[in-house]
Structure 1
Amino acid sequence: MRISRRIALALPAAALALAVGAANAQDTMKLKIGTEGAYPPFNNLTADGTLEGFDVDIARALCEEMKADCEFVTQDWDGIIPALQAGKFDAIIASMSITEDRKKEVDFTDKYYNTPPAIVAPKDSDIKGVTKEDLAGKTIGAQGSTTHSTYAEQTFADSDVKLYPTAEEYKLDIISGRLDAVIDDVIVLEEFLKSDEGACCKQIGTVTPVESIYGPGIGIAIRKGEDALREKLNAAITAIRANGKYKEVNDKYFSFDAYGD
């Protein structure tokens, strides 16, 4: 009689534990993170299909901080905002600058890094600086639909600005001598110069970012009106800055604090 009573008492407790476990599983935040996968060292898809880079590791750190179950989705840069709006993923963590034009289409978190653009040219180039006058008459490459391409088109009015779908494609053209210079994030270009292919070229200098073009830094884009998600991501950015996780990721890639001022 005692045995059967114990079993009877245990059954409701077991049922309650299962119910609590199911509720907790349902409460776990599930997020799909969109990234390009073609912008090393920030995000890159390796030959075996592995995603790596600063953006990717920061995303993982934020997901861990939020106790969220995150999945990555790769998307071509030109279609990344439409894909977010269509629900293909919930957030873009892909080195996207916070700009006024983009804020008309998406909402942004606070910045999670801020590094300047730079100009790179072939080693035998006669380009001396990064001004409009320095680059007059030159052919300049940039990845299209980026703040760098916007800056190049608005600033280098006396140059021929050529736009490319990815950074890898403009790199091929400067290596082969079809470009006089390229503009991109300083970290992306420094990584290129360290590679075997980058032996062709040298850095001319960095460009002072124009805030009306570059905005206050790089943020995470989310769909309009998703304020609760933005607040959670902002809190997670603040937390990983404070607990040392951001520095751990940062130091894996850079010798300075990419967060900026």
Structure 2
Amino acid sequence: MRISKRIVLAAAAALAVTMGGAQAQDMMKLKIGTEGAYPPFNNLEADGSLVGFDIDIAKALCEEMKADCEFVTQDWDGIIPALQAGKFDAIIASMSITEERMEKVDFTNKYYNTPPALAAPKDTDIAGVTKEDLAGKVVGAQGSTTHSNYAEATYTDSEVKLYPTADEYKLDINSGRVDAVVDDVIVLQDWLATDDGACCKIVGTITPVVEIHGPGAGIAIRKGEDELREKFNAAIDAIRANGKYKEINDKYFDFDAYGS
């Protein structure tokens, strides 16, 4: 029996379309939760786009995993409950891996680790970052973070004020309502480079306390989703090995944010 070339080509094209559709259906779909208010790690732009180190890393991981990923923004203080409720499948939002959070969610391995720091007005009389240096001062930090936990545990001779977002403590230090603020050194440096941050300077970095700060920032997923966690871990290792992590890192930093 002879089959015309036209029929063969049509059949091949139909098979390709069918296989392509099946592959598209089989592609893992993930919703990634992030805050969108923590530059330069994640920030929601005026046009609605999300930018930052977390966002670029998330996109690289999704590409490595061959996953179709969608971003969902969520206020920080409700981000873990939103994950648990199924609003998204993973949190990629500079979330430090801590024992307290591990009671509620599982974490991947870290994908970066940068130290905390303390910033104050340029004319401050604060000379260091110790409890004694901050005695009698008002210290600001974003609530429900390792930085607020550290401030409350360490600066017991100070008034510690907590804020829903980093933007709000920045407003208060600019207006003189707080004497110093604690956050990730990169977040503070990024702010100080703007007009709004011209008020202030880095007083010093803070030696991380593992019990409070954990080993770095990881990706949070729901308890028991071991397969997804290991896919993320393998993707983190892959982008570290193939140079993609360095490409993203060098876009934002002049050092290796992965840490030791």
Aligned AA (1:63): C
Partner of 2:222 in structure 1? 223
- Distance, in Å, in 1 between the alignment partners of 2:21 and 2:195 is 52
Matched, 1:252 2:251: yes
Partner of 2:203 in structure 1? 204
Partner of 1:148 in structure 2? 147
Partner of 2:62 in structure 1? 63
Matched, 1:183 2:164: no
- Distance, in Å, in 1 between the alignment partners of 2:140 and 2:195 is 20
CA distances 1:179-232 after superposition (whole Å, capped 9, x unpaired)? 100000000000111111111111110000000001110000001111111111
Structure 2 vs 1, CA of residues 5 and 177 (structure 1 numbering), >3 Å: closer, same or farther? closer
Aligned residue pairs total 260
Displacement of 1:158: 0.4
Displacement of 1:67: 1.2
CA distances 1:127-161 after superposition (whole Å, capped 9, x unpaired)? 00000000000000000000000000011000000
SS in 1 for 2:72: strand
- Distance, in Å, in 2 between the alignment partners of 1:95 and 1:124 is 31
Aligned AA (1:160): E
Displacement of 1:15: 5.0
Aligned AA (1:36): E
Aligned AA (1:234): N
Aligned AA (2:210): E
Structure 2 vs 1, CA of residues 5 and 123 (structure 1 numbering), >3 Å: closer, same or farther? closer
CA distances 1:34-55 after superposition (whole Å, capped 9, x unpaired)? 0000000000001111100000
SS in 1 for 2:220: strand
- Distance, in Å, in 2 between the alignment partners of 1:233 and 1:3 is 48
- Distance, in Å, in 2 between the alignment partners of 1:136 and 1:240 is 44
- Distance, in Å, in 2 between the alignment partners of 1:249 and 1:228 is 26
TM-score, normalised relative to structure 1: 0.96
Quote the RMSD (CA, aligned, Å).
1.6
Aligned AA (1:113): Y
Matched, 1:174 2:173: yes
Aligned AA (2:101): R
TM-score, normalised relative to structure 2: 0.96
Aligned AA (2:236): I
Displacement of 1:17: 3.5
- Distance, in Å, in 2 between the alignment partners of 1:255 and 1:10 is 53
Displacement of 1:25: 1.4
**What's the % identity of the aligned pairs?**
79
1:121-160 matched pairs, under 5 angstroms: 121-160=120-159
Partner of 2:34 in structure 1? 35
Matched, 1:54 2:53: yes
Aligned AA (1:189): L
- Distance, in Å, in 1 between the alignment partners of 2:180 and 2:250 is 29
Displacement of 1:18: 3.9
Displacement of 1:19: 3.5
Partner of 2:95 in structure 1? 96
Partner of 1:85 in structure 2? 84
- Distance, in Å, in 2 between the alignment partners of 1:20 and 1:245 is 29
Structure 2 vs 1, CA of residues 6 and 150 (structure 1 numbering), >3 Å: closer, same or farther? same
